[in-house]
Structures are given as structure tokens and as C-alpha cells.
Amino acid sequence: MNMINVSISHFSSAMGYCQFTAVNRYHLRLKPRLMPHTLAGRALHERLEAEDKLIPREEATKEQLADPFFDLDFTREGVTVSFDRINGNHFRYLGRTDKVIRHQGVIYIIDDKVTSKPASGLYHDRLLQLAAYCEAFIRSYSRMIAFNKVVFNVVHRRPDGGVIQENKVDYTPEVNAILVRDLNTFEGIINKTTQPDHHNNPKKCAPCGFFDQCKWRIESPPLPPGVAVMNNSNSS
């Protein structure tokens, strides 16, 4: 049995975006190219972290941590979480939450995403990422920090930090069941007992960081002759 460390964000993109990212990353040891949306996300996180450091804080006492109705505001990017599973190998899922607060007995796990427009719903990779953070928070901290329930909140922001939309979801047994189902599939792919499914969508491959190296990429079909391409950079 091998010990396999898995970043929660890599797990969620494998099961919510493309299962072949798991093959590329864990079997073939490929490294994805940094894409503009990844760089924009990093820049936003650095800006929010710098702003968060300006908030005056005092360290909470043991008694305050044990009182679910004492509100807490954890340092941004300061709460690391993990959980382990044995499934053929020993899988350890690890992550660092963007932001955690406790308000009126509820733990809110907040994740910030850069976007240019509101999303029509909660994408599956985001649901999985936040569900995994909730599970990992419960397993990492429930002996030390009291709470009555855990809620996750995906905050869609413009690159300047302005909030466009929030998706708040309770971490319920139903969400946990989706997480466990996808953890089993992911681990099967890593253990080579499950064949990955292909999304068959060239629009997913085009912005993927593995595109240049991926054996399973699908390229968009060429435009028919005579079809002009608009250059958006010239439009007003």
C-alpha cells in the first residue's frame, strides 16, 4: 500500500472537470501549464490575504473555541485541513481554505473564485472542492472547535475583488454522499481499477493546462471555409 497525497483542488478538478487530469497528473507525472485564469486567481488571493492581514485580531481562548456562539474570524489562508481514506492505497487529501468564520454556531468555509460574469449554477468541481474542505474541516477540528453545522460559500469575484455572486450550500449527508461517490471513482482511477470517462467536449480542452501534452485532448473542429473570426480586441 502506498501513501498518496492528493491536493483537494486536484481531486475536485479531476472529478468535476476532466477525469484525465488525474491520469496526466498521477500516472504520467505531467505538470499543467499555468493558464491566465490561474494567474488571475492567485493575484486575487494575494490581494484578499493582504487586506485580511490588516484586520486586528486576538487569539481565541480554549473556552471561546468551545463556545459555538462565540463568533470567530480565522486568518485568511490560515486554516489547513486534511482527511485520510484507505482504498487500495492510503490516500491523504489536503487543502488550505481561503477563509473560515464561525457565526451564530455555524462554520462558513468560503472559497473565492475569479470570474467575469455570474455563473448559472454551482459547477460540480466547486461543489466537490468545498464539500471536501467541509469534510476535512470536520475531521481536523471538531474536537477543538464547537459548531452546530457547516456551510460552504463559493464567492464569485471580479479580478478587482468585487463580489458578483455567492452560492451558499449546507454540508448535508446528501452532499457528503456525492463526495464519497466521487472519491471512490477518483481512487479507482488512481488505482487503475476504474477507467476514466471522457467529457468529449473540446471547449473543456481548449483552456486546460494539460492541453499541449495530453494524449486525450480534443481539438475544436476547424471553421468552415469563408467563416470570418471576429477580433474582440478591436471592438469598442
Nearer to ligand SF4, 32 or 95 (CB): 32
Q: Does 83 bind ligand SF4 (CB under 6 A)?
A: no
Helix (H) or strand (E) holding 205: helix 202-205
* Residue 4 and residue 190 in contact, taking contact as beta carbons nearer than 8 Å: yes
Contacts of 132-135 with C-beta under 8 Å, sequence gap 24+, read 132/8, 132/11, 132/12, 132/83, 132/93, 132/95, 132/179, 133/8, 133/81, 133/95, 133/97, 133/109, 134/109, 134/171, 134/175, 135/83, 135/171, 135/176, 135/179
- Smallest gap from residue 108 Cβ to ligand SF4 (A): 31
161 residue type, one letter: G
* Residue 216 and residue 30 in contact, taking contact as beta carbons nearer than 8 Å: no
- Smallest gap from residue 50 Cβ to ligand SF4 (A): 32
- Smallest gap from residue 124 Cβ to ligand SF4 (A): 14
- Smallest gap from residue 219 Cβ to ligand SF4 (A): 9
Nearer to ligand SF4, 220 or 236 (CB): 220
Nearer to ligand SF4, 141 or 211 (CB): 211
Which residue from 135, 23, 128 is spatially nearest to 85, judged by alpha carbons? 135
99-103 and 72-73 strand pairing:
antiparallel
Distance (Å, whole) CA 104 – CA 147: 9
Tell which positions 196-215 bind ligand SF4, by CB under 6 A: 204-205, 208, 210-211, 214
How big is the site for ligand SF4, counted in residues (CB under 6 A)?
Answer: 12
The alpha carbon of residue 210 and the mean position of all alpha carbons in its chain are separated, in whole angstroms, by 18
Nearer to ligand SF4, 18 or 190 (CB): 18
- Binding flags for ligand SF4, 44-63, as an x/- string (CB under 6 A): --------------------
Which residue from 232, 201, 235, 234 is spatially nearest to 216, judged by alpha carbons? 201
- Binding flags for ligand SF4, 4-33, as an x/- string (CB under 6 A): --------------x-xx--x---------
Nearer to ligand SF4, 148 or 213 (CB): 213
Tell which positions 119-158 bind ligand SF4, by CB under 6 A: none
The residues binding ligand SF4 (CB under 6 A) are: 18, 20-21, 24, 204-205, 208, 210-211, 214, 216-217
